[in-house]
Amino acid sequence: VMNLRLVMENSMKYGVLICIRCHDYRRHDIYLSTLLYLLVPCHLFVAYIIELGAAQHAKGALSCIKRSDSTPTEDPLPDSRSFQATWYTIAWAHGINATFCLLVTTYTVYYHIHHPLIGTICQIHAIIVWLKSCSYAFTNRDLRHAYLLPQTPSSLPEIYSQCPYPRNVTISNLAYFWWAPTLVYQPVYPRSPSIRWLFVAKRIAESLGLSMFIWLASAQYAAPVLRNSLDKLQTMDIASILERVMKLSTISLIIWLAGFFAIFQSVLNALAELMHFGDREFYTDWWNSPSVGNYWRTWNKPVYHFMRRHIYSPLVGRGYSSGFASTMVFVFSGFLHELLVGVPTHNILGVAFLGMMVQLPMIAITAPLEKVKGVNGKVIGNSIFWISFCLVGQPLAALLYFFAWQGKYGSVSRAKI
């Protein structure tokens, strides 16, 4: 009933704000975004070329080891410096390729793509390809090490034996990883036996319907609240700003939940079904999180697995503390969040980065609540999570970036209220 009252109040106050032709996108935004969509995946092909050369060198190195009758635990090649220099060259080649992919997209979006939604889509695509390129390089490095030192105890999963290195370095193998709904490369993934086309159709219908809902909710409900908050921010009316943040929290939460369901439940499951991808755990029950840390471990499993596999675990394995490794994960995540929000809006404010850094003390505060016996600790932790999630996080960040956008460009829509 309360939501229905808000709908009626919004309609009586603003009328219908939906306007298909009112969005201020430019023709060259479409051209540039299409060009980026076609060119960015080429960096994955470059990573394949680099790995193809590395695989050939690894075959030659293994042949040299066998001819010299040296044991795997000893110096594998007579010319160890030349051998190590080759691997450093491969690592630098991967680093330059992945970084160039992200830099070109970031530069193009920040300076040449005006519409923030189009820029955000371009940034998301580039970051996904960047993370996949990094994972492809890191995993193949580990596989090369196991290949050259076969008698060294290895922790490679048993499923990897179905496609051992260097047989995995093929175009078809990379193409599957490109489209698979995961950010962590494996030579082989669990596969489902067949495609359920009705399941795919349902997931696509869900994603389309939710996308339409997000557009309607953003234009009809979120945009008026944001615009009506500008004068309060200019005069630094703290009480009014807090009132606007709380008013914005409801619609921002609804939009976020719709977007979450559309991506993690609909799009990723549809893609997984088409790719015969067997691992469908893209999220768990993050809404029941007894702490802030539990939320970050459960709401976005693909990113969580990447961070744990390629940042957290390597740092801990090299002797760093778990606290330091977690800090580096959130520093890296904050950098990505700023790229996703600050670059498309053409305002590098650092708010998204700072928001990720604030998570560290909140994780430390709520972590002991997970260990409290009974339900009281978990209820308190879950309450802290939802308050920070609904009131402090998304609404405030959206308000600040919208204010910066308005200060730089004016209205993002030609529709007048």
Q: Which residues participate in catalysis according to the annotation?
A: 337
CA neighbours within 13 Å on the CB side: how many for 371?
Answer: 4
User: How many C-beta atoms surround the C-beta of residue 197 within 10 A?
Assistant: 10
State how far Cα 170 lies from the chain centre. 26
**Contacts (Cβ under 8 Å, ≥6 apart) of 329:** 307, 311, 312
Beta bridge partners of 413: 23
What is the phi/psi pair of residue 413, to 5°? -135, 145
What amino acid is encoded at 155 in this protein?
S
348 with 337: CB under 8 angstroms?
no
Measured between alpha carbons, how far is 31 from 36 in angstroms, rounded to an integer?
9
Residue/partner pairs of 398-401 with CB below 8 Å, 24 or more apart: 398/222, 398/226, 398/248, 398/252, 399/226, 399/229, 399/233, 399/241, 399/244, 399/245, 399/248, 400/349, 400/351, 401/341, 401/342, 401/345, 401/347, 401/349, 401/351
Q: How many residues does the chain have?
A: 417
Beta bridge partners of 277: 191
Can you give the C-alpha Rg of the chain in angstroms? 24
What is the phi/psi pair of residue 96, to 5°? -65, -40
What are the CA-CA distances from residue 201 to residues 210, 213, 334, 392 (Å)? 14, 18, 35, 37
Please list the alpha-helical segments (H only) found in 188-289: 197-217, 223-227, 230-234, 238-260, 268-274
